[in-house]
Amino acid sequence: MPFARIYSEFSTRRPVLYALYRWVILSALIVLQTLRTVPSKLASVALILFALVFFLVKSRSREKRRLFPDRGYLVFGALAVLGFAVQFYPIFNGSSLIGRVSTLTGIEERPLYLTLTLCLSVLAVPGIGFLVEDIIERVYGVDGSVLHRLRFARNPFLIFCTVYGLAVTAIIRANFNYIDDAGRCFYGYSGWNNFSRFASNYLSTFVHGNSFLADVSPLTQLLAVVLMASSSVIVLYVFTGKKKYTLFQYCAVVPLCLSPYFLECLSYKYDSPYMSLSIFASVFPALFFSGEKENRKKLLLASFAGTMLNCLTYQVALGIFPMLVVFLAAQSLIHGKEASARVFSAVGTAAFGYFLAVLYYKIVVVIPTAADDYVSGSMPPVVQLFPTIISNYRQYFELIQYDFNLPWKILLLILAVGFPLRMVLCGKGKRMQSLILTLLAEAVSAVLIFGLYPLLEKPLFETRAFFGLGAWIAFVSLSTLTDAEGAEHCSLQKACILALSWSFFAFAFIYGNALSAQKEYLTYRSAEIMSGINAHYTDSATKKLKILGDAGLAPTIRNSVEHYPVLSRLTPRLLRENWSWGNFSLSYYYRTDLIADNLMEITDELPLLLETGTYSLYGDAERIVVKLN
């Protein structure tokens, strides 16, 4: 029997076994993604084999045309497996099982790695292709009608693309290598495997057109804009159920993607599209949130797939989907859109898919990372779990208290208080019941703002870890406006929504211009320091470099920080001590003979070589210390 017909017969006559085969293959691919990069020759050979499979394997069905041709699924499967395959085989390196097989067969281990990887890749292509086919057909149906239903989204999508595109122009113009960007621009590495973000690693190869990730900005930020606009349209649709929206509804969803915290994500030239994709993955499953029995499988599948993609791109967004479910459920219960039993059934289905994906990711996919001064992915001991959670939440909310200026706090308070009032006045149920549900939704969603990070022993406290707050603001605002557009006494909430959205939109330009000023300032300070080093060191011998002190923020930013405190945390100080990125440009961008050594101990008194108003230069033949004033 030809190779192609094996899959067709197997999938037709043994559907249960074939379904098991697909999921085993998919699980194996995800597990094997936890790897390092392999030689490019392997990728080339695998691509040739994928092409052969594509031309040999025929359709397993003679049904009418579906969402796209059957061979398209095989192409998708080939591309997906190729993305995994280029990182496959090092998992076998050092394996005792492979060692025993190598001894028994007499085959050297490295060719054995290569053979196993290629065989697994070829076997997986039809499985992944058919799996994608099943998912698309089950979620969307076979007639492609979903494309027709989504035609209404064109105009809202273009509106959001315009708004978000304008908002990031100042950030794009700044052309600032934001923290990790400095290393990626220099070395071209991906590096997201460190935090088990394998989808980011995989997708970056296609975005940059090469496994060497050269700087392709602003393409990445424009892709982020497209994903942000798509996410915003989905949120509008699931909250309102309508195809036409008011100005205030458009404004209400803006904080989802233009909160001050998410602006840091948009600052990354390399990370921005995958961070935006995490939001899209979080809100997409809400399209299937319904209490109808026939939609439960779709909701379960979408919840699992969306949460898994979220985990594989950027885990900060893990709180957005649960928040969205909480608000949608409260809205349905308060306005009597569906029976309570159906609403709770939908919530349970979504929660099951969510936690199943999180557990699968944690148990099967995650590569444990060692704790350091930056962040740790491990949970504290059971005895310390509750105190750690309380401490983490307190620190998170204290930082929000510090970051937000007084006008933002006032507007946020009005929205938070106005939301339960509007739901009580506009709800179709009992007022006390509506009040309790609304307050409960606010409280539970506030706990979910930071996703699962508060459960960690050492969570992330950088500003990008807070962008769930923007989603919370958007959901509260949309819930306030839903079914209340014609109600009385809604003017104050509308004014607050408009003011907060405009303020965030304007702040995007303030922040982008601050990045531009900071870049000029750091360039000036770095050039001044390198001038002194070049004057005293004319040889090319390798020397260790250590920075003491902090260059701080550009003078033009310091006054703005008083009115926008979050600027001080958003704007990187890329010239300071005890930070791997604090002297990267000095060590790599100007002279290749300088090696950054933040741990270098100064046990003796180094001679003073130069002293200026901004820095002092100390050094000998092997060591250089720059003390910033």
Q: Supply the pLDDT for residue 77.
A: 64
Does residue 614 have a pLDDT over 50?
A: yes
Q: Give the DSSP per-residue string, 324-360.
A: HHHHHHHHHHHTTSS-HHHHHHHHHHHHHHHHHHHHH
Q: What pLDDT, on the 0 to 100 scale, is given for residue 449?
A: 94
Distance, CA of 501 to CA of 513 (rounded, Å): 19
Q: Looking at per-residue confidence, does 305 or 269 come out higher? A: 269
- Among 244-258, 551-565, 578-592, where is mean pLDDT lowest? 578-592
pLDDT at 522: 92
Q: In what order do the strands lie in the sheet with 623-628?
A: 594-596, 543-548, 623-628, 615-619, 608-611
Cα 143–chain centre separation: 32
Q: Determine the longest span between alpha carbons in the chain, in angstroms.
A: 83
The pLDDT of residue 290 is: 77
Residues 341 and 338: their CA atoms lie apart, in Å, by 8
| Distance (Å, whole) CA 357 – CA 77 | 21
Cα dist from 313 to 113, 121, 280, 299, 307, whole Å? 28, 23, 11, 21, 10
Residue 108, judged by CB atoms within 10 A of its CB (0-12, 13-18, 19+), counts as exposed
Q: What percent of the chain has pLDDT over 90?
A: 35
Alpha carbon distance 374, 533 (integer Å): 31
In the predicted structure, residue 148 carries a pLDDT above the cut 70 = no
Span 425-454, mean pLDDT?
A: 84
pLDDT digits (tens, 9 = 90+) for 366-400: 776 655 556 777 788 888 889 999 999 999 999 99
Q: What is the pLDDT of residue 583?
A: 82
84-142: pLDDT as tens digits = 554 444 445 555 556 666 777 777 766 776 666 666 666 666 666 665 666 566 555 54
Give the model's confidence band at 37: pLDDT under 50 very low, under 70 low, under 90 confident, else very high.
Answer: very low
- For 331, the token pair is 């809205």
For residue 376, with 0-12 CB atoms within 10 Å meaning exposed, 13-18 middle and 19 or more buried, which class applies?
middle
Q: Is the pLDDT confidence value at 53 over 90?
A: no
The model's confidence at residue 47, banded by pLDDT at 50, 70 and 90, is very low
Could you give the CA distance from residue 526 to residue 24 in angstroms, rounded to a whole number? 53
Q: Is the pLDDT of residue 69 over 90?
A: no
Residue 490, SS3? coil
Question: pLDDT category, 3, cuts 50, 70, 90?
Answer: very low
- State the virtual CA torsion across 394, 314, 463, 236 in degrees, nearest 10: -90
Question: Burial level of 1, CB count in 10 A (0-12/13-18/19+)?
Answer: exposed
Give all strands (DSSP E) within 93-143, no chain letters.
Answer: none
Q: Is residue 626 scored above 50 in pLDDT?
A: yes
SS (H, E, C) 40-56: HHHHHHHHHHHHHHHHH
Where residue 36 falls among pLDDT bands split at 50, 70, 90?
very low
SS3 623: strand
Residue 152 pLDDT class (50, 70, 90 cuts) = confident
Spatial separation of the C-alpha atoms in residues 330 and 321, rounded to whole Å: 14
Distance CA 387, CA 192 (A): 30
> What is the reported pLDDT for 516?
95
Give the pLDDT confidence score for residue 197 in this predicted structure: 86
Tell me the mean pLDDT in the region 268-280: 95
Contacts of 600 by beta carbon, 8 Å cutoff, 6+ apart: 544, 546, 623
Q: What pLDDT does 205 receive?
A: 79
Asked if the model's pLDDT at residue 55 lies above 50, the reply is: no
**Residue 399: its pLDDT value, please?**
94
The answer, yes or no, to whether residue 153 has pLDDT greater than 70, is yes
The mean of the pLDDT values for the chain is 79
pTM of the model: 0.81
Query: Does the pLDDT of residue 61 top 50, yes or no?
Result: no
Vertex 318 angle, CA 417 and 129, to 5°:
140
Angstrom CA distances, 296 to 132, 138, 483, 539, stand at 19, 11, 26, 70
Which of 73-77, 111-115, 431-435 shows the lowest mean pLDDT across its residues?
73-77
What is the rounded average pLDDT of the residues 217-234?
A: 94
Spatial separation of the C-alpha atoms in residues 92 and 88, rounded to whole Å: 9
Reported for 61-70, long-range contacts at CB under 8 A and 24+ positions apart, including other chains, are 63/142, 64/142, 66/133, 66/136, 66/137, 66/142, 66/144, 67/136, 67/137, 67/140, 67/142, 67/144, 67/147, 70/133
- pLDDT at position 457, please? 86
Query: Band of the pLDDT at 211, cuts 50, 70, 90?
Result: confident
Q: Above 50 in pLDDT, residue 51?
A: no
279 has pLDDT over 90: yes
% of the chain surpassing 70 pLDDT: 73
| Alpha carbon distance 417, 422 (integer Å) | 9
Residue with tokens 């649960």: 322
Range 546-553 average pLDDT: 90
* Residue (of 283, 348, 347) closest to 310 by Cα position: 283
Q: How many residues does the chain have?
A: 629
Q: Coil, strand, or helix at residue 366?
A: coil
Would you call 626 helix, strand, or coil by DSSP?
Answer: strand
Tell me the three-class secondary structure of 502-546, residue by residue.
HHHHHHHHHHHHHHHHHHHHHHHHHHHHHHHHHHHCCCCCCEEEE
pLDDT number for residue 102: 73
Q: How far apart are CA 116 and CA 158, in angstroms?
A: 47
Burial class (CB in 10 A: 0-12, 13-18, 19+), 261: buried
